[in-house]
C-alpha cells in the first residue's frame, strides 16, 4: 500500500482533534514530520521533529523534504484536519490524473465559524493561471500532495522566502507542472495566526513572475499590444501596481503605477497612485498628485484633498493622544479609524501603543506591517529594528528590507 510522509509547517499542534484526524487516514500515513519540537505521542505512525527554530519558509520546507522517508509528500499547514480517507482520495487522484500536485477543497475554520472554499479544477489549464498573478486563489496552501521527485526536479524551494515558497515553486515550474483538484475531497484548515507576511508575495511577483514570463504572450495576453502598445503597457503596469498594493507593497506598487502613467496617462491609475501615497503616509505627495494638472476636475481635486486632509488630521490626533499617554483611548479609536484607513502611520501607531504596554510580539507585527507598507520611513524602521533587537528578530527585518528594496534576486 502506498504511504505518504506528512510534512507540517507552522506551529506544532498535537491536540486530540488533529491526532484523530490523522488516525482516520492512518493506514496511508508512513510518518509525520514537524520542523519544531513536539511532545511524544502514541500514534499508529511515527511522529518526528527536526528541532528547527524556524517553522516556516523555503528553508524549512527543503529540510522536511530531505528528511522524508517516503516518495509521496503531503504538505500540511498547521493546523489542518484531514477528513477520513482524504489521503487515499488524494493518492487516487494523483494516480488517475498523473498530476504533480493534488489538492482538496477547503473548509476554513475561524473560531466557531466554518466557511467552504470550493476550488476549480485547473488540470490542463495550469498556464492559464499565470495571468491571474495570484496562484494562491486557485491552489490552497495546505493539503497538497506531491512527490520528492517533483520537488527535486523543480529545483527545491527558495530558501530566501519565509512565506509563499510553495507558490514561488509553482510559478517557477508551472509550464511543466500538472495541478489537479480532487473534486469531492475536503480538508478543514484552521489558521493559527491571521498575520500573513505579504512582503514575500510581492517579492515573488516582482522577482519571479514578472521576470520569468513573457508579458505579451503569457502574463497579459488579452491586452492589445499590437494595436496600442502604450495603452497595453499602462494597463499591465497598473494591474501589477494594484496587485502589489493588495500585498501592501505600496513602495514598489507606486513605481509601477508611475510607469503606467508615463506610458498612458489615465485617471484609474492616478487614483491607485494617490491611494498608495496615502497608505504609505505620504500625505503631501498624495495631495500633489490629486491635482488638476494631473487631469482631475476641480470638484474631484477638492473631494480627494479633503479626504486626504481628514485622514491626516485623524492620524495627527492619534499621535498627540499617544504622546499624552492615552493608550486605551488610542486603541479604541484605532478600531474605528481602521474602517476608513489602513495605512502605514496607523499600523506604526498601533505598534507604539503595544510597545508601551509591553506587548512586544504584537508591536513587532504592527511595525513590520508599517515597514512593509513604507520601508523608507525612518521612524517605522527605527521602531521595528528596536523591537526586533529585543526579540532577537533582526535577521527577519534584514530579510524584509532585502525583499522590499533589493532588485537583484538570487536564489540561495
Partner 1 sequence: MKEVELSQIESYLKLQNLLNPRFPLPKAGGWAASWELLLAAVKEAFRLDKEDLVIVEAGSGVSTVVFGYLIKNYFPKGELFSLEHDYDFYLKTKGELSLHGLEVNLLYAPLKPYSINGKEWLWYDIKELKELLKDKEIDLLFIDGPPQDIQKEARYPVLPILKPFLAKDFVLILDDANGEGEKRASLKWKGELEVYEDEFVHTEKGALILKRIEVKDYPFFSICIPTYNRANYLKEALESVLSQTYKNYEVIVYDDGSTDSTYQVVKGFKSEKIKYFRGDKNRGRPFARNRCIELSKGDWIVLFDDDDVLNRELLSKYAVAINSFPDVSLFYPRIINVKEEGKGTYQVLLPYDYYKNRPLLLRTLARKTPISNPSVCLKRELYLEFGSYSEEFPRAQDYHFWTRVLPFIEIKGLLTEGFTYRIHQNNVSANLLKSDFSYESVIKRKFIEIVPLEEIYSFDKENALSYFSKDLTFHQDFFNASYYSWLAGKDFRTFLKEAGLLLNKKELRLVLRALSFLKDGNFQAAASLSEKLPLFFSFLVGGTVSLKIKDSNSLYLLKRAVLLNPLFDFSSLIEDGSVLKEISYVKERLLKPKNSLELRKGEFVSLLKGGALEDICLRYS
Binding site for partner 1 (CB under 8 A): 83-85, 89, 105, 107, 113-118, 183-186
Q: Rank residues 116 and 356 by Cβ distance to partner 1 and give the closer one.
A: 116
The CB-of-182 to partner 1 minimum distance in angstroms stands at: 9
* H/E element, 81: strand 80-82
The CB-of-84 to partner 1 minimum distance in angstroms stands at: 7
Q: Rank residues 112 and 339 by Cβ distance to partner 1 and give the closer one.
A: 112
- Class of residue 1 by CB neighbours under 10 A (exposed 0-12, middle 13-18, buried 19+): exposed
CA–CA dist 391, 181 (Å, integer): 41
The CB-of-118 to partner 1 minimum distance in angstroms stands at: 6
Is residue 401 within 8 A of residue 385, CB to CB? The reply is no
CA–CA dist 107, 80 (Å, integer): 10
The CB-of-25 to partner 1 minimum distance in angstroms stands at: 13
* H/E element, 30: strand 29-34
The closest alpha carbon to 347, from 317, 321, 320, 315, belongs to 315
Q: Rank residues 186 and 256 by Cβ distance to partner 1 and give the closer one.
A: 186
The CB-of-114 to partner 1 minimum distance in angstroms stands at: 5
Q: Rank residues 119 and 225 by Cβ distance to partner 1 and give the closer one.
A: 119
For every residue of 265-283, DSSP letters joined together read: --HHHHHHHHHHHHHHT-H
Q: Rank residues 9 and 185 by Cβ distance to partner 1 and give the closer one.
A: 185
Q: Rank residues 188 and 238 by Cβ distance to partner 1 and give the closer one.
A: 188
The CB-of-106 to partner 1 minimum distance in angstroms stands at: 10
Amino acid at each position: 500500500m502506498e504511504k505518504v510522509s506528512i510534512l507540517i509547517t507552522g506551529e506544532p499542534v498535537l491536540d486530540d482533534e488533529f491526532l484523530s484526524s490523522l488516525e482516520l487516514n492512518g493506514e496511508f500515513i508512513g510518518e509525520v514530520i514537524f520542523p519544531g519540537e513536539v511532545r511524544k505521542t502514541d500514534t499508529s505512525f511515527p511522529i518526528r521533529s527536526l528541532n528547527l527554530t524556524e517553522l516556516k519558509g523555503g528553508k524549512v520546507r527543503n529540510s522536511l523534504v530531505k528528511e522524508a522517508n517516503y516518495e509521496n509528500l503531503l504538505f500540511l499547514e498547521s493546523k489542518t484536519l484531514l477528513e477520513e480517507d482524504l489521503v487515499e482520495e488524494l493518492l487516487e487522484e494523483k494516480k488517475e490524473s498523473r498530476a504533480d500536485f493534488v489538492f482538496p477543497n477547503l473548509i476554513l475554520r475561524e473560531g466557531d465559524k466554518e466557511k467552504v472554499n470550493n476550488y476549480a479544477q485547473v488540470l490542463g489549464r495550469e498556464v492559464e493561471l499565470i495571468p491571474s498573478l495570484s496562484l494562491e486563489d486557485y491552489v490552497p496552501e495546505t493539503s497538497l500532495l506531491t512527490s520528492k521527485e517533483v520537488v527535486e526536479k523543480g529545483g527545491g524551494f527558495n530558501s530566501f522566502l519565509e512565506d509563499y515558497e510553495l507558490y514561488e515553486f509553482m510559478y517557477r515550474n508551472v509550464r511543466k507542472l500538472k495541478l489537479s483538484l480532487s473534486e469531492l475531497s475536503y480538508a478543514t484548515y484552521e489558521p493559527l495566526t491571521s498575520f500573513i507576511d505579504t512582503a514575500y508575495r510581492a517579492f515573488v511577483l516582482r522577482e519571479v513572475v514578472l521576470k520569468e514570463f513573457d508579458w505579451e504572450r503569457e502574463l497579459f495576453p488579452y491586452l492589445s499590444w499590437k494595436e496600442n502598445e502604450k495603452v497595453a503597457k499602462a494597463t499591465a503596469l497598473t494591474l501589477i501596481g494594484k496587485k502589489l498594493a493588495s500585498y501592501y507593497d505600496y513602495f514598489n506598487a507606486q513605481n509601477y503605477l508611475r510607469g503606467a502613467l508615463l506610458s498612458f496617462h489615465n485617471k484609474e491609475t492616478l487614483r491607485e497612485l494617490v491611494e498608495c501615497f496615502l497608505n504609505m503616509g505620504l500625505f503631501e505627495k498624495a495631495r500633489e498628485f490629486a491635482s488638476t494638472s494631473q487631469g482631475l476636475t476641480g470638484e474631484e481635486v477638492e473631494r480627494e484633498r479633503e479626504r486626504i486632509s481628514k485622514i491626516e488630521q485623524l492620524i495627527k490626533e492619534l499621535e498627540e493622544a499617544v504622546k499624552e499617554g492615552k493608550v486605551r483611548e488610542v486603541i479604541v479609536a484605532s478600531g474605528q479609524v481602521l474602517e476608513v484607513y489602513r495605512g502605514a502611520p496607523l499600523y506604526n501607531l498601533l505598534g507604539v501603543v503595544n510597545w508601551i504596554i509591553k506587548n512586544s510580539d504584537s508591536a513587532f507585527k504592527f511595525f513590520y506591517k508599517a515597514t512593509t507598507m513604507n520601508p523608507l520611513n525612518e521612524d517605522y524602521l527605527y521602531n521595528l529594528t528596536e523591537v526586533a533587537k529585543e526579540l532577537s528578530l533582526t535577521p527577519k527585518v534584514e530579510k524584509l528590507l532585502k525583499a522590499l528594496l533589493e532588485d537583484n534576486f538570487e536564489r540561495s
